[in-house]
Structure 1
Amino acid sequence: MTEVDEMAVDIERIHQLNSVLRPFIKRPSSGDAVTFEQYRILHELVKEKTSTSELSRRLNVGQSMISIQISRLLKNGYIKDETLPTDRRYHVFQITDHGKAVHEHVSLVLAHELPQLMNKLASYVKV
């Protein structure tokens, strides 16, 4: 098999992986109005309250994407905004009880669905 042929096979595998992952990542989770990206933010905030820039660093995504998701999570009451008394310009976000309940539910759904997804993905990965 030539290098070009091998690259074509790899590109096809990437396309197949993308088609398997996209619905899992983009869909709202089992009735909860959170996307996978929002779940990742909730997951970080369960550990500790933190800032937009720290979330961006931890999740390895741009601050603008984090800000958009933070706005949606705030609007739905999953998190709350807190400013530091020493510097009113600095905002940290904390998960609410409602957000914790959603996080717990989505975690249970993922624990059930993730092994199935991993098995499906393994069938596409070159061994």
Structure 2
Amino acid sequence: MMEAKKLAVDVERIHQLNSLLRPFIKRPSVGDTITFEQYRILHELVAEKISTSELSRRLNVGQSMVSIQISRLLNGGFIKDETLPTDRRYHVFQITTQGRRVEEHVNGALEVELPELMKQVNTILK
């Protein structure tokens, strides 16, 4: 009986966390320019050129999701595609100046918003 009550409390906490985090994660950043998922890709590309499979591994999401977001970022001019001269089948992506500006803007917004979000998460978890 005690296990069922604990499970019910845990399920309620998960529901509360989901309700709190969903709008934050799904909210487009910088107007309607990019989504949070696209920001995560830009953030990874700031330091180095990366392939779709490596992005998928780092972000812990499927390659199809990464491919869709990559296409949107390419079309928006936020990243560019580069093929290796030694193997034209292998593509790596790098952030553009426009993409870097957007990534920096979102970083600034996250620095402001994340501390309050984390306070709310901690309240739910207590």
Fold shared, TM-score > 0.5 on shorter chain: yes
Aligned 8 A contact 1:78 1:98 in 2: yes
2:104 corresponds to which letter in structure 1? E
SS of the residue 1:80 aligns to = strand
Q: How far apart, in 1, do the equivalents of 2:32 and 2:98 lie?
A: 11
Tell whether 2:91 aligns with 1:68. Answer: no
Note closer, same or farther for the CA distance 1:26–1:16 as it changes in structure 2 (3 Å cut): same
Aligned Cα root-mean-square deviation (Å): 1.0
Tell me the TM-score normalised to structure 2 length: 0.97
Instruction: Give the corresponding residue for 2:16.
Output: 16
Alpha-carbon distance, 1:30 to partner? 3.6
Q: How far apart, in 2, do the equivalents of 1:60 and 1:29 lie?
A: 21
Number of aligned positions between the proteins: 126
Note closer, same or farther for the CA distance 1:48–1:32 as it changes in structure 2 (3 Å cut): farther
Tell me the TM-score normalised to structure 1 length: 0.96
Q: How far apart, in 1, do the equivalents of 2:49 and 2:68 lie?
A: 18
Which segments of 5 or more consecutive residues in structure 1 lack a partner in the other structure?
A: none
Tell whether 2:91 aligns with 1:88. Answer: no
1:23-74 residue CA offsets vs partner (Å, 9 max, x unmatched): 0000101425111111110000001011000111111111111001101101
Instruction: Give the corresponding residue for 1:7.
Output: 7
Aligned 8 A contact 2:37 2:69 in 1: yes
Instruction: Give the corresponding residue for 1:125.
Output: 125
Aligned 8 A contact 1:73 1:79 in 2: yes
Q: How far apart, in 1, do the equivalents of 2:51 and 2:34 lie?
A: 20
Aligned 8 A contact 1:32 1:102 in 2: no
Tell whether 2:41 aligns with 1:41. Answer: yes
1:93-118 residue CA offsets vs partner (Å, 9 max, x unmatched): 01000000000000000000000100
Which segments of 5 or more consecutive residues in structure 2 lack a partner in the other structure?
A: none
SS of the residue 1:29 aligns to = coil
Aligned 8 A contact 1:30 1:109 in 2: no
Aligned 8 A contact 2:30 2:102 in 1: no
Q: Where does structure 1 differ by over 2 angstroms across 4 or more consecutive aligned residues?
A: none
Instruction: Give the corresponding residue for 1:115.
Output: 115
